[in-house]
Amino acid sequence: MSGSGPGAGDGVVPPEIGRARAWIVTDGKAGDENQCIGIAQALGLAVETRRIPRGRPLTWTAPWGPIDPRDAPGRAGGLLEGPLPDILIASGRRAVPYLRAVRRASTGRTFTAFLKDPRTGHDTADFIWVPDYDDLRGANVFTTLTAPHPVSRARLDAARTRPDPRLSALPWPRIAVLIGGDSRHLSYRKADTRRLVRDLTKLADGGCSLMMTVSRRTPPDLSAALADLIRRKGGFLWDGTGENPYVGMLALADHVVVTSDSANMVGEAASTGVPLLLFDLPRTYIRHRRMFAGLAMAGALKPFIGRLEALRYAPIDATPEIAEAMAKAYAAHRRRFEPGGGTASPATQPKASGKGLF
């Protein structure tokens, strides 16, 4: 199953799903966890976040291997201790064995949702979301152009109503500049740093106010060059102190410059409806280029070459659409386990024995 395209609506989520007990399970990677949080917020879920600690034994065997026996469902002090949830949302390779463990311990009653390809087949979870550019398909697989995220319309509206004073004092036009960094697919070269700083300098010299944020992956030399640019030309660069201005930047931006190493940041920026200018890196992941092409076809994105572009499009945010599809799948799942209108729930089932599942 697939979404209805770039301009999909807000989705309709039944209010009863908000009463479900839910967990998020990831290894703590910000990109994976933010996708899960975005869906949970769209569903109105109060969630417990359970992070797989780094260096946990057996995680190197993921996604195919077992979990650490100390983390077995129901085992005191383990990652999966306590009554099993009604809903488990997971993302990331290391989370796959934990999702399988909960699914088995609950005898399938816990509704399991996985974001991105688990690499273990479409039947790994009850509901799977993948971006359009991924190959995984199946009756329970939902696809959209952009990824889920927590940058909702409500959060953007709130940031416009009560703007961050560090940003609102900047003259118009304000340009949000979202900088990623090195990944397993690419590394920033010195030539990339020079080109990016040169093109941002053109905007600053043309009267634009730059609002910049970097990531933990940003190379130190690039961070230093951007800090020097702000010192010379003015603007704002978040140094990690004070409240994170990320949503405020997106809310107040007239244009967004975003680097091509992060499909998540590009998708979040598309939710604003303002022109997206993509700083293209030569070794950008080929599948991400398919997403960028889709946004370009929707009139949302052009390459960044040191100038602003006039682009008009409706905000693109697949999160409500994905949440609605997941809510429908959850409702169908509950019906299978509630013959005669009963209220069976993982929380009311016998607790797992605490023995390892694998």
Quick: pLDDT tens for 171-216.
999 999 999 999 888 999 999 999 999 999 999 999 999 999 999 8
Q: Identify the DSSP state of 2.
A: B
Identity of residue 291: M
Q: How far apart are CA 98 and CA 28, in angstroms?
A: 14
Structure tokens at 296: 């370009």
Rg (Cα) of the chain, in Å, rounded? 22
Helix count and strand count (H, E) for the chain = 10, 12
Alpha carbon distance 285, 154 (integer Å): 31
Q: Is pLDDT above 90 for 265?
A: yes
Per the CB < 8 A criterion, the answer to whether 7 and 117 are in contact is no
Select the more confidently predicted residue: 150 or 183: 150
The pLDDT value given to residue 49: 98
The whole-chain average pLDDT of the chain stands at 91
CATH architecture label of 15-149+319-348 = 3-Layer(aba) Sandwich (3.40)
The reply to whether 153-303 shares the fold of 15-149+319-348 is yes
Residues in the chain: 358
Q: Give the model's pLDDT for residue 9.
A: 41
Q: At 142, give phi and psi (nearest 5°).
A: -110, 135
Give the mean pLDDT of 329-346: 74
pTM of the shown model:
0.89
Contacting residues for 48 by C-beta, under 8 A, at least 6 apart: 22, 23, 24, 85
Tokens at residue 55, please? 């260096």
Residue bearing the bigger pLDDT, 293 or 358: 293
% the chain with pLDDT above 70: 91
Measured CA to CA, the distance from residue 4 to residue 169 in angstroms comes to 39
Domain spans of the chain? Answer: 15-149+319-348, 153-303
**Confidence (pLDDT) at 12:** 60
Q: What confidence tier does 3 reach under pLDDT thresholds 50, 70, 90?
A: low
What is the pLDDT at residue 240?
86
> What burial class does residue 244 get, using C-beta atoms within 10 Å of its C-beta: 0-12 exposed, 13-18 middle, 19+ buried?
exposed
What per-residue confidence (pLDDT) applies to 4? 44
pLDDT higher than 60, residue 157: yes
Complete edge-to-edge strand list for the sheet that includes strand 301-303: 236-237, 209-213, 174-178, 255-259, 276-279, 301-303
**pLDDT band at residue 339 using 50, 70 and 90 as cut-offs:** low
Please provide residue 141's backbone torsions phi and psi, each rounded to the nearest 5 degrees: -105, 125
Is the pLDDT at 154 greater than 90? The verdict is: yes
User: Which candidate, 150, 145, 148, 131, places its Cα nearest to that of 250?
Assistant: 150
Largest CA distance in the chain: 70
Our CA angle for 7, 185, 271, nearest 5°, is: 20
Instruction: Kindly state the percentage of the chain with pLDDT values over 90.
Output: 84
Which two tokens mark 120? 């273990």
* 98-108 pLDDT per residue, tens: 999 999 999 99
Which pLDDT value is given to residue 2?
Answer: 63
Residue 23 and residue 82: Cα distance in Å, rounded?
11
Whether the pLDDT of residue 5 is over 80: the answer is no
Q: How far is CA 1 from the centre of its chain?
A: 20
Read off the pLDDT of residues 11-66 as tens digits, 9 standing for 90 and up: 566 677 878 999 999 999 999 999 999 999 999 999 999 999 888 888 889 999 99
Q: Average of pLDDT values for 252-262? A: 98
pLDDT of 346 above 60:
no
Cβ-based burial of 125 (10 A; exposed 0-12, middle 13-18, buried ≥19): buried
Domain 153-303, classified CATH 3.40.50.2000, yes or no: yes
